[in-house]
């Protein structure tokens, strides 16, 4: 966060990187969307190719990203790196963190002043609990709170009546629904 110096010029005193592990959004990426158009059951098709959060945390390049390993240290692990997880890999490093999906969705929803993203009841509860315990954006950090979640019926109504994008977990369960930003502006979809 910028601080004001004695000459009233803002300066950046620190930065932190966040690598969010959000497998539920993989299917919405540009290439997956193109490939999955031809697949009858996209989530079932993707499921065996997705890694869980523990695997993402133990992935050597991710540990480099958050500063727990130097880039030159990658040479000591055989490739492919996903086949050689780092034992005891940490979530936090000197340069940032690897954030689990529930917390990512919670932060996204908490910062959504327009209430475009609605979380399901379970996801909202999990996200709120996890964020309250987070060492940086915890309960006393001043971050907005995660709103109460919606029932599956209320999420379905958003999807079918208002054109919201369903956000489906890797287990096939409806997690959330994202309303389009504007009917006439494709960049806000």
Residues 6+ apart with CB under 8 A from 108: 117
Q: How many CA atoms lie within 13 A of 166 on its CB side?
A: 16
60 burial level (CB within 10 Å; 0-12, 13-18, 19+): buried
Alpha helix segments (H runs only) across the chain: 30-36, 42-46, 53-57, 60-65, 101-110, 121-133, 152-162
Give tens-digit pLDDT for 48-90.
889 999 999 999 999 999 999 999 999 988 889 999 999 999 9
- For residues 11 and 2, the answer to whether their CB atoms sit within 8 Å is yes
Q: Which residue has the tokens 């996890």?
A: 130
Quick check: 89 and 97 in contact, CB under 8 A? no
Residue 151: pLDDT above 60? yes
pTM: 0.85
């Amino acid at each position: 966060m910028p601080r004001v110096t004695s000459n009233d010029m803002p300066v950046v005193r620190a930065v932190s990187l966040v690598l969010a592990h959000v497998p539920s959004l993989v299917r919405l990426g540009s290439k997956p969307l193109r490939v999955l158009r031809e697949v009858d059951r996209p989530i079932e098709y993707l499921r065996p190719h997705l890694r869980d959060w523990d695997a993402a945390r133990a992935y050597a390049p991710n540990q480099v990203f958050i500063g727990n390993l130097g880039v030159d240290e990658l040479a000591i692990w055989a490739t492919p790196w996903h086949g050689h997880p780092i034992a005891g890999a940490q979530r936090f490093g000197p340069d940032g963190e690897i954030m689990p999906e529930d917390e990512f969705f919670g932060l996204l929803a908490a910062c959504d002043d327009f209430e475009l993203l609605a979380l399901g009841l379970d996801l909202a509860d999990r996200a709120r609990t996890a964020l309250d315990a987070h060492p940086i954006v915890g309960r006393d950090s001043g971050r907005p709170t995660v709103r109460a979640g919606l029932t599956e019926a209320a999420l379905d109504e958003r999807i079918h009546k208002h054109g919201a994008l369903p956000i489906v977990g890797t287990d096939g369960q409806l997690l959330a629904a994202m309303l389009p930003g504007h009917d006439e502006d494709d960049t806000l979809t």
